[in-house]
Amino acid sequence: MSARTILIATGNPHKLEELGAIFEPLGIRAIGLHDISGGAGIPEPVEDADTFEGNAQIKAVAYARATRRTVLADDSGLEVDVLGGAPGVRSARYAGVEGDRATRDGANNAKLLDALQDVPDEERTARFVCAICVADAEGTVRATSRGEFAGVIGREPRGSNGFGYDPLLILEDGRTSAELTPEEKNRRSHRAEAGRKIAERLAAVLGC
């Protein structure tokens, strides 16, 4: 792996694309687990922390030690104020449904809408949160960051871009996160904010 390449601890092409677009202007190429030999077969660490930051660190350190590479990992999800911050770190597993991403996303969105069915619009405030951690080849944490993307939860999904809860989070301009173009989301999202915050430190870690 060249000095200007960072391994992202994910098999999610959406995350890889978003982070890649942020780091590309710095001359840093983002690759995923499927891009390295044996990467897809590395056992996933148990993400049992109660914060996004804790889970990001668990992933970064585990994959760095397994691959002997500098690794960037993120943990992200949705916090809904009236639900006490839920689904939070359980965002991806909120409905407890197995299956492909589309099936899980649909079940999670349906459960969230059901939980908020009787909640007035003004009380449906929420935010996407992304925590990023970079660990070097020894498993030492070298940088961390956090980004947020705020809005309110709508009453039905809208938009075909993005994934997860994107079709439900309505932004200040009235569009959902899933109605943003990929370019807009790359500039405005929680992952974009966290990525920008860590970009300069990442360049230093990689020796760019």
Confirm if 64 and 135 have CB atoms less than 8 A apart. Answer: yes
Distance CA(165)–CA(128), nearest Å, equals 9
CA distance 107 to 97: 7
Burial 123-132 (b: 16+ CB within 10 A, else e): ebebbbbbbb
Q: Which of 75, 105, 136, 166 is catalytic?
A: 75
Catalytic site residue 75?
yes
Inter-axis angle of helices 190-206 and 13-23, nearest 10: 60
Between CA 135 and CA 95 the distance in angstroms is 31
Q: How far apart are CA 187 and CA 90, in angstroms?
A: 25
The catalytic site residues sit at 75
